[in-house]
Chain A
Amino acid sequence: MTDCTVTTRVRQVNENQCHMCMPLGGVVALRGVEHSIALVHGSQGCSTYMRLANVEHFNEPIDIASSSLNEKQTIFGGEANLRKALDNVIRVYQPKVIGIMTSCLAETMGDDIERFIETYKNDREIREIDIIPVSTPSYNGTHTEGFWATTRAVVAYYARPTERHPGINVIVPNISPADIREIKRILDLMGLEYTLLPDYSLTLDRPFGGRYQKIAPGGTSTAGIARMAGAQATIQFGLTCPEPLSPGLFLEQQFGVPLINLPLPIGLDSMDLFVRTLHDLSRRPVPESLVLERGWLCDGMADAHKINAGARPAIYGEPELIYALAKLCMENGSIPAVIASGTQNSGLVGLLQPLLKDALEEPVILEEADFVTIEEAAVRKGANLAIGHSGGRYLTERQGIPGVRVGYPIHDRIGGQRILSVGYTGTLAFLDRFTNTLLEAKHGSYRRLRKEEMLNKKGVSNAKA
């Protein structure tokens, strides 16, 4: 397959968008740093909206402070408000780390955040609290870039030349807390010492019980982040991470920590790649329990691939995840109908081309896509599954294409924080949802479709499912 359709946006109108704004991803990444709180420098609607979107996805309390810029500050600058905001957040929340994300308002105003912070810290004689600015104007990228930019800023803030140690760094993209926990379990199984960043597996998915704390316990420790500079290697699940935003590349260039960029460990090949890398780094045998899990996945694939071969999924969302999912689909004989991302500059097309070169059908690959473009392509290519976040609900509502929710954000189903799709076990859990959604549609429509076909004198209809 060489001539798959590749489309980037030509229209002016973004109708039913497939991507969100930069600081939204930034605040998620920051929740992965211990004792931290995010402050959005902008009008208070920004932080309110970001709390809303994240709370709906994670089903957890999420505190994001705001500098509450008003009309006056748009003229005189936002420094005074930012200082007040810092005063109050420090007083009430007692954080050890404050990440300041800029809104498009603050960036358009041209506030010099770094200078504001320096003056503030000097005036207040603050030494114990780290204040990290991240530039995240939403006209410069999507929530995906915001996530990477924040992670990189955190690494750049803490990493210092350190003694070499045998531990490794693991840098994850915007995946679910359940996915992070699974990656950590695999790392533990392989007996490796590691720093995983950003680790929001406990801060954005709190077990019930114990006294409620304003800043949820958990997250990567700042001491751990500082030590990342001395690790033997960095594994980054960031094939689509733009180089200027890549935390792993920063560690390689600044501190000589070799960067191993891997696909998210979803599917047999990607997960094998991850395990083999861990095996090479730890020089330990792969434990029996992991071999068993691999066996169960292979067994599950053997059982399901005949059904899955009939799937023509439309996969949409953040580039890192959809690349991994597209690869998993190909492994199972499900040739995607559409692979679409709202971002640009992720290199997705180049990554996908070798993967799809032997495919019998040509998927449509879309970058900078909105859901109207995705919907049009999905219908044209006969998609019969919609794989991705809640934005794709229109594919189901308007076109009757059944959906499998995965990715971010999910607000029309419960439990976005618990969706597991990495590792052998997670892949199988995802695959079962995938297969069963197909089966459900099939059971619901098989008789009707066959009847339609038989009555249709022209022969076999091209009806879906």
Chain B
Amino acid sequence: MTVTDVNVDELVASFPDKVKKNRKRHIVKKNESAGSCPQIEANTRTVPGIITQRGCCYAGCKGVVVGPIKDMISITHGPIGCAYYSWGTRRNKARADDRTPPEQIYSTMCFSTDMQESDIVFGGEKKLAKMIDEVVEIFHPRAINVCSTCPIGLIGDDLGAVAKAAEEKHGIPVIPYNCEGYKGVSQSAGHHIANNQIMEHIIGTGTEELDGKYIVNLLGEYNIGGDGWVIEQLLEEIGYKVNSILTGDSAYVNIRNLHKVHLNLVQCHRSINYIAEMMETKYGTPWLKINFIGIEATIESLRDIAQCFGDEELIARTELVIERELAAVTPELERYRKICRGKTAFSFVGGSRSHHYQYLLRDLGMEVVVAGYEFAHRDDYEGREVIPTIKSDADTKNIPELHLEPDPEMYREPNLHLNMSKEKYDELVASGRLGYYKGMYPDMIDGGIMIDDANHYETEELIEIFKPDLIFTGIKDKYVSHKMGVPSKQMHSYDYSGPYTCFRGAVTFARDIANALSTPAWKMITPPWEQSETKRT
């Protein structure tokens, strides 16, 4: 079946009528001739019982955003389960450096208040307070995060009050996150809560003067398998100083100084665009959406960053590095391209990655025919221009919005951050580079399917229909695709591979993909005696 023949109705045929209607709104077929993106429903409640792949608010807050901050102790306040589930599952690598010694790294550890029945009945505030005392006594961390799980919201523990008292007692920041799992409709709510608290409590508290002519933050990069390190190294070779990655391999001591940079780079749009936007409002820091997944994408991103500073020397050095890296990776890539060319894939991962990986796969001659997100919003699919038209519902209203004003002391006009004239800056904005993300739709293949919050059932149906060569997804549906005879790549942990970013990462990725596509065992599934029988009939 060619991509254009797919009938969306068939996909959802098994559901009851009401569910069918709901699910159809989450599925959009790319139609090149129709021009702009049709509206897709996203960031709305999942229908109970349809086996969504979505996680919860706590997962987005602790599991994704605050967990990887290496020098903070992140305490999970609640019964024991949730702490375990968010313990190191995303391979966010961290290392010691000149500011953070190895004994100050806690991100690989798991802390829980392990609440028992009596704590649920009588409240868990005292236990939490005592636990913070202990943690401070044992580890002397620079700062502490406290993330709450479902029952906390119900029994009414005042996280804020406990945190404030602890802060006064111990003289270190203790930051509360009311990220109970039932809040919002997916992980996305947790990203937002984490962004708000980091913005309110950490960013802007640093007073150090940073060293460097072109200083950037790399927001929304989680350093899975070392992805962030590869980007950082490349940027520093060209002449940038990376103050902090957020939040892969990040440290509290660096996040404090986030506002001291010239430009924010945004890799994952969904999980971190709040901070990017809020920093622009409060400090005037401009932000640029970049993508370091894929050769072409990396080249474009590097050129865009150089353009933002407009320094001829920087631009020249960028080209030099691009040329050198391309020469280094092209011969090996060519070998894998021969295996990958013409193959199709599904991509269900992340808050921008289903989009990002389309670039890398295109570099290898592959096409993504179905792509989607668990927790994206409409702007991640359709582009940021739809943001003003998104209606906020009861679930979004439950997540507090920070209404920020320009900081009276620290705000500087965005063009001054980049050391350029207002006119030149406006030009950059108008060209769509700064402060903009176009979403996934423009890059989808004609006839391809964009699906939001795909559930288990739909994924299986889509595999039956498209019979893709490879599926990029999380671990929950990985084995479904295996059982259906389609190799898959686990994109939350990279199946213990990586890094996949920039030039050399693309080679590692291509090698993994070529291996997955060409492993002979996949062709040996049917035993020879059954093969001859089929031939006879």
A46 and B45 alpha carbons, distance in the complex (Å)? 16
B109 within 8 A of A: yes
Q: Which of B54-62, B267-275, B358-366 lies at the interface with chain A?
A: B54-62
Interface residues of A in 29-67 (CB under 8 A from B): 39, 42-53, 55-56, 59-67
A208 and B481 alpha carbons, distance in the complex (Å)? 12
A51 and B479 alpha carbons, distance in the complex (Å)? 12
Among B130, B134, B150, B395, chain A packs the most CB atoms within 10 A around the CB of B150
B274-291 toward A: CB 8 Å interface, digit per residue (1/0)? 000000000000000000
How many chain B residues touch A (CB < 8 A): the figure is: 79
Q: How far is the CB of A101 from chain B (nearest CB, A)?
A: 11
A399 within 8 A of B: no
A232 within 8 A of B: no
A43 and B120 alpha carbons, distance in the complex (Å)? 18
Q: How far is the CB of B50 from chain A (nearest CB, A)?
A: 5
- Find the B residue at minimum CB distance from A49: B85
Q: A46-B181, A139-B79, A212-B483 are in contact. Are A91 and B59 (CB under 8 A)?
A: no
A84 and B149 alpha carbons, distance in the complex (Å)? 24
Among B14, B81, B108, chain A packs the most CB atoms within 10 A around the CB of B81
Q: How far is the CB of B35 from chain A (nearest CB, A)?
A: 35
Which residues of chain B are near A82, meaning CB under 8 Å? 48
Which residues of chain B are near A463, meaning CB under 8 Å? none
A120 and B131 alpha carbons, distance in the complex (Å)? 43
Q: Across the interface, do B59 and A67 meet the contact criterion of CB distance under 8 Å?
A: no
B456 within 8 A of A: yes
Q: Which of B111-119, B377-385, B416-424 lies at the interface with chain A?
A: B111-119
Q: A12-B113, A13-B111, A48-B55 are in contact. Are A108 and B154 (CB under 8 A)?
A: yes
A12 and B119 alpha carbons, distance in the complex (Å)? 12
Q: Across the interface, do B475 and A14 meet the contact criterion of CB distance under 8 Å?
A: no
Q: A74-B154, A105-B182 are in contact. Are A66 and B127 (CB under 8 A)?
A: no
Which residues of chain A are near B186, meaning CB under 8 Å? 44
A78 and B139 alpha carbons, distance in the complex (Å)? 41
- Find the A residue at minimum CB distance from B397: A71
Q: Across the interface, do B183 and A88 meet the contact criterion of CB distance under 8 Å?
A: no
A89 and B119 alpha carbons, distance in the complex (Å)? 34
Q: Which of A15-23, A187-195, A223-231, A313-321 lies at the interface with chain B?
A: A15-23
Q: Across the interface, do B154 and A92 meet the contact criterion of CB distance under 8 Å?
A: no
- Find the A residue at minimum CB distance from B126: A12
Which residues of chain A are near B113, meaning CB under 8 Å? 12-14
Q: Across the interface, do A88 and B48 meet the contact criterion of CB distance under 8 Å?
A: yes
Which single member of A43, A53, A72, A109 contacts B181 (CB below 8 Å)? A43
Q: How far is the CB of A73 from chain B (nearest CB, A)?
A: 7
Q: Across the interface, do A46 and B56 meet the contact criterion of CB distance under 8 Å?
A: yes
Which single member of A19, A20, A68 contacts B52 (CB below 8 Å)? A68
A24 within 8 A of B: yes
Q: How far is the CB of B22 from chain A (nearest CB, A)?
A: 11
Q: A45-B57, A104-B79 are in contact. Are A208 and B49 (CB under 8 A)?
A: no
A92-125 toward B: CB 8 Å interface, digit per residue (1/0)? 1000000000011101110000000000000000
A344 and B372 alpha carbons, distance in the complex (Å)? 43
Which residues of chain B are near A67, meaning CB under 8 Å? 48-49
- Find the B residue at minimum CB distance from A41: B48
Q: Across the interface, do A52 and B525 meet the contact criterion of CB distance under 8 Å?
A: no
How many chain A residues touch B (CB < 8 A): the figure is: 71
Q: Across the interface, do B484 and A212 meet the contact criterion of CB distance under 8 Å?
A: yes
Q: Across the interface, do B119 and A139 meet the contact criterion of CB distance under 8 Å?
A: yes
Which single member of A20, A39, A55 contacts B80 (CB below 8 Å)? A20
B82 within 8 A of A: yes
A139 and B52 alpha carbons, distance in the complex (Å)? 26
Q: Across the interface, do B131 and A87 meet the contact criterion of CB distance under 8 Å?
A: no
A70 within 8 A of B: yes
A138 within 8 A of B: yes
Q: Across the interface, do B56 and A44 meet the contact criterion of CB distance under 8 Å?
A: yes
Q: A13-B131, A49-B82, A53-B84 are in contact. Are A70 and B49 (CB under 8 A)?
A: no
A429 within 8 A of B: no
Q: How far is the CB of B456 from chain A (nearest CB, A)?
A: 6
Q: Across the interface, do B109 and A15 meet the contact criterion of CB distance under 8 Å?
A: yes
A92 and B52 alpha carbons, distance in the complex (Å)? 13
Among A43, A56, A107, chain B packs the most CB atoms within 10 A around the CB of A43
Q: Across the interface, do B476 and A51 meet the contact criterion of CB distance under 8 Å?
A: yes
Q: A13-B131, A105-B182 are in contact. Are A43 and B56 (CB under 8 A)?
A: yes
Which single member of B47, B53, B79, B108 contacts A137 (CB below 8 Å)? B79
Which residues of chain B are near A62, meaning CB under 8 Å? 476
Which residues of chain A are near B83, meaning CB under 8 Å? 14, 17
Q: Across the interface, do A73 and B84 meet the contact criterion of CB distance under 8 Å?
A: no
B394 within 8 A of A: yes
Which residues of chain A are near B138, meaning CB under 8 Å? 13
B6 within 8 A of A: no
Q: How far is the CB of A394 from chain B (nearest CB, A)?
A: 8
Which single member of B14, B86, B184 contacts A92 (CB below 8 Å)? B14
Which residues of chain B are near A212, meaning CB under 8 Å? 460, 480, 483-484
Q: Across the interface, do A61 and B477 meet the contact criterion of CB distance under 8 Å?
A: yes
Q: Across the interface, do A19 and B185 meet the contact criterion of CB distance under 8 Å?
A: no
A206 within 8 A of B: yes
Which single member of A15, A61, A69 contacts B483 (CB below 8 Å)? A61
Q: How far is the CB of A368 from chain B (nearest CB, A)?
A: 9
A59 and B82 alpha carbons, distance in the complex (Å)? 21
Q: Across the interface, do B135 and A13 meet the contact criterion of CB distance under 8 Å?
A: yes
A86 within 8 A of B: yes
Q: How far is the CB of A333 from chain B (nearest CB, A)?
A: 35
- Find the B residue at minimum CB distance from A45: B56
A156 and B390 alpha carbons, distance in the complex (Å)? 51
Among A12, A13, A43, A55, chain B packs the most CB atoms within 10 A around the CB of A13
Q: How far is the CB of B327 from chain A (nearest CB, A)?
A: 37
The 7 closest A-B pairs by CB, nearest first: A45-B56, A21-B81, A85-B49, A88-B49, A105-B150, A85-B48, A49-B85
**9 A-B contacts, Cβ less than 8 Å apart?**
A13-B113, A13-B134, A16-B87, A55-B476, A61-B479, A65-B50, A70-B182, A71-B184, A105-B181
* B interface, CB within 8 angstroms of A: 14-16, 19, 45-59, 78-87, 89, 108-117, 119-120, 127, 130-131, 134-135, 138, 149-151, 153-155, 180-186, 394-395, 398, 456-457, 460, 474-480, 482-484, 525-526
